[in-house]
Amino acid sequence: MISSRSNQQQQMRTSHGDYPGLKKGEVSTGTTIIAIPMVDGVVVGADCRVSTGSYVANRVSDKISQLSTHIFCCRSGSAADTQALTDYVKFYLNNLSVETGREPTVKVAAHLMRRMCYDNKEKLMAGVIVSGWDPVDGFSVYQIPLGATCLKVPFAISGSGSGYIYGLVDSEYRPDMTCEEGRTLVKKAVAHAMARDGSSGGSIRTVVIKPDGNDRDYTPGNSLPFGPTG
């Protein structure tokens, strides 16, 4: 019985890349992304770990992609799929701004992303958060999970680490927070998710989106606000 079970596990490792919990053709993914609007901006954040099965391929990946001047996208799921999606959406938004002579709105960017995710939902593994500022709606956050539903939300958390921090963000988030308070909360939340979720890790990247410019920040793994070194 022991040898039979051992042989079965060995066959599963061989066929699924040393990851016996996965089905045939299934891809292991994991991340933590978050976006919260403030009175004077929007703060987005993400961890930096990219894995291929049980192997960490990149500890300092940038999962926050800029779609337009004041619109950003936080990516979760397959890195290849989400990078291709953001490249397409950025291209279309740039063409739209040239044709209309004005910057695209966050709503347009979110629904364009939703349309591309929905039309290719059988081929893609992508869950994203589109957030930013525009002169029509101000600061806004849209969440597009797997399946390509598009929801405008007060704040958004997604990825495999999100389940560990919903209570934390619910208890500490206030709509009247400043961007500095928001950035502190985002770092704290992502650090807690990284400490609990085995698929999130590395370091933390954040971006504060404001009408007068965007401010990027990087927190290395040995300076996290919570965790083994925090």
The amino acid present at 109, given as its one-letter code, is A
Q: Residues of 136-156 as b/e, b for ≥16 C-beta within 10 angstroms?
A: eeebbbbbbbeebebeeeebb
Mean pLDDT across 9-35: 60
pLDDT value for 51: 83
Instruction: Give bridge partners of residue 38 from the DSSP assignment.
Output: none
- pLDDT above 90 covers a percentage of the chain that reads 78
Would you call 31 a catalytic residue per the annotation?
yes
pLDDT value for 9: 44
54 or 32: which leads in pLDDT:
32
**Least confident interval from 28-42, 80-94, 125-139, 184-198:** 28-42
- pLDDT above 70 covers a percentage of the chain that reads 86
Q: How confident is the model at residue 5 (pLDDT cuts 50, 70, 90)?
A: very low
Pair of tokens at residue 158: 């997604």
178 contact partners, CB below 8 Å, separation of at least 6? 38, 39, 40
Mean pLDDT across 126-138: 96
Q: 138-144 long-range CB contacts below 8 Å, 24 or more apart?
A: 139/37, 139/38, 139/41, 139/42, 139/209, 140/37, 140/42, 140/106, 140/107, 141/35, 141/36, 141/37, 141/42, 142/106, 142/107, 142/110, 144/110, 144/113, 144/114, 144/117
128 or 21: which leads in pLDDT:
128
Q: How confident is the model at residue 20 (pLDDT cuts 50, 70, 90)?
A: low
Please give the Cα distance from 94 to 71 (Å, whole number). 12
pLDDT value for 199: 85
Q: Which is catalytic among the residues 29, 31, 82, 206?
A: 31
pLDDT value for 72: 98
Q: How confident is the model at residue 1 (pLDDT cuts 50, 70, 90)?
A: very low
10 contact partners, CB below 8 Å, separation of at least 6? none
Mean pLDDT across 104-132: 95
* Residue pointed to by tokens 């299934």: 26
